[in-house]
Structure 1
């Protein structure tokens, strides 16, 4: 299987490559806008079992032509920030469906993730997986909830929280995503009703300060 990891030499993409690099049935395409950075990163992974192929991929360029040239079986988009993808935010997904390529991303932008459902029918008709927001928090929370609720007659309320470690390394795009939330409206559900709230600029600034202090 040829797996194209967009943002493959970044914090999250690099971690995915590290977790998969012992699987000999994969060819890992470590991709990003800078071929030099991809090459430098791949040289640090000397013990990888499958071939690590440094690759230039610009998701703002002609993605269809790039996918045709690389011929991946599956694409994982870890580049972000997904909140800044603009009007043609789903162009990579659309190109993947058109070329019979499975797609996953680690998007943390709720609007981006919610909009991916518009491609569900096309993906199903093509026999493809198009999965968005495949990050640890929602997946693990859902798995734990399913296990703990087994045998229950009903579940009335679920509350989840996330507390990322301040010791974890983050890239520029993660900082941009955190800062981009400041002052933006967010849809909330309170007492069964959907209401609008505002993300606190002070809270976003606090998260940025914690990141800077521990780096």
Structure 2
């Protein structure tokens, strides 16, 4: 018969994402539940957006003993923080990921027929879900986060965020065909418009 426990005492001292499964006793059908909030042990995510180190990870997990190991299922929710890839402004939000991970028992058929990067391992009667969380968060986060869907980005001339710039923001530009000549005339005659320079006598 399955048993259910709150997992406050199951958390391993070396990491908030390592859990003691000794209570399951390798008995298929025995089960424990984890409903708690723990700090993220590291920055988890991508270059422009991530779950920051120390951010709250809300765990809603079920750890169940099956014939070949411990099956971990459930969800992890966490706040995200990053930078808009167009205007470089702050981007905040929340992510929820689903987990379904098997951790093989020592000397099980699953352990002997799989690599560690394919299936996790029960080590010293613990399971470590950190890599599973890292992988799932990395897949769920946007590669190029935006502050708003149609963010106009930065002004290419002055770098101001166009979303907050004054209406009609623009810069007067000299015709590139005259730009070099204008610079030369600035030094020689006080900056007379090159289009007017040919009319002098």
Alignment TM-score > 0.5, same fold: no
Report which of the two has the higher share of helix: 1
Larger of the two Rg values belongs to structure: 2
TM-score (norm 2): 0.23
